């Protein structure tokens, strides 16, 4: 089962950005309203895509019980969070981004899978909340999936992002990969 996380991670890195890789897509104008199919500026949409891809890759490493892969994926997640903060400076997501940035030191210091999973609870959950809100405004983000696990130490903060099924739980790894359910709102 460890290879499942590696396969998912390899697919993400081999294909580059998986979300929005349609080629030739026109960047969204910044002036469109929140319920419009192109609700975000090109920079904001790119930052959301980078966050989704990095969060999905990070989750895959944890679900695959692969600490080495986690440590390699972590810098991309940090960069994506920084890009998100820059693109949404003073936006509605800014508060959640600040929470993620505040909990980031726990991820930086995580030297075991258990510590990485514990630190990822709040980071992954806040990133999932940002995605859930963002995809209400922009249906192009609906490809990413948000899952929820009730069996974590902190079930109130137990959502994560995946690019595609099957469900792979980053909080329990190979012991309980399919445990949980999809969040639609």
pLDDT of residue 79: 95
Q: Which residue has the tokens 């089962």?
A: 1
Does the structure show a pLDDT above 80 at 2? no
Q: What are the pLDDT digits (tens) for 96-115?
A: 898 888 888 888 888 899 89
pLDDT band with cut points at 50, 70 and 90 for residue 148: confident
Q: Cα–chain-centroid distance for residue 172?
A: 17
Adjacency order of strands within the sheet including 181-183: 159-162, 145-148, 181-183
Report pTM.
0.75
Q: If we measure between CA atoms, which residue out of 149, 141, 157 comes closest to residue 37?
A: 141
User: pLDDT digit string (tens) for 32-45?
Assistant: 334 445 689 999 99
Mean pLDDT across 106-130: 88
Q: What percent of the chain has pLDDT over 90?
A: 32
- How many angstroms separate the CA atoms of 93 and 127, rounded? 10
> What is the CA angle 57-21-49, rounded to 5?
50
Is the CB of residue 149 less than 8 Å from the CB of residue 115?
no
- Per-residue confidence (pLDDT) for residue 31, from 0 to 100: 32
Which segments within 68-165 are labelled E, that is strand? 145-148, 159-162
pLDDT for the residue numbered 176: 67
SS3 159: strand
């Amino acid at each position: 089962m460890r290879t499942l996380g590696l396969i998912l991670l390899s697919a993400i890195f081999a294909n580059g950005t998986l979300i929005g890789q349609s080629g030739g897509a026109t960047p969204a104008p910044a002036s469109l309203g929140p319920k419009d199919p192109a609700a975000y500026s090109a920079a904001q949409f790119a930052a959301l895509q980078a966050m989704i891809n990095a969060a999905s890759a990070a989750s895959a490493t944890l679900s695959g019980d692969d600490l080495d892969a986690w440590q390699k994926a972590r810098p991309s997640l940090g960069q994506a969070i920084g890009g998100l903060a820059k693109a949404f400076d003073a936006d509605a997501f800014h508060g959640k981004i600040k929470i993620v940035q505040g909990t980031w030191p726990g991820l930086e210091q995580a030297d075991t899978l258990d510590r990485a999973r514990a630190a990822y609870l709040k980071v992954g959950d806040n990133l999932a909340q940002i995605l859930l809100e963002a995809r209400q405004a922009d249906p192009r983000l609906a490809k990413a999936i948000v899952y929820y696990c009730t069996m974590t130490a902190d079930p109130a903060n137990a959502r994560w992002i995946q690019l595609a099924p099957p469900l792979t739980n980053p909080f329990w790894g190979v012991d309980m990969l399919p445990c949980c359910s999809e969040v639609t709102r």
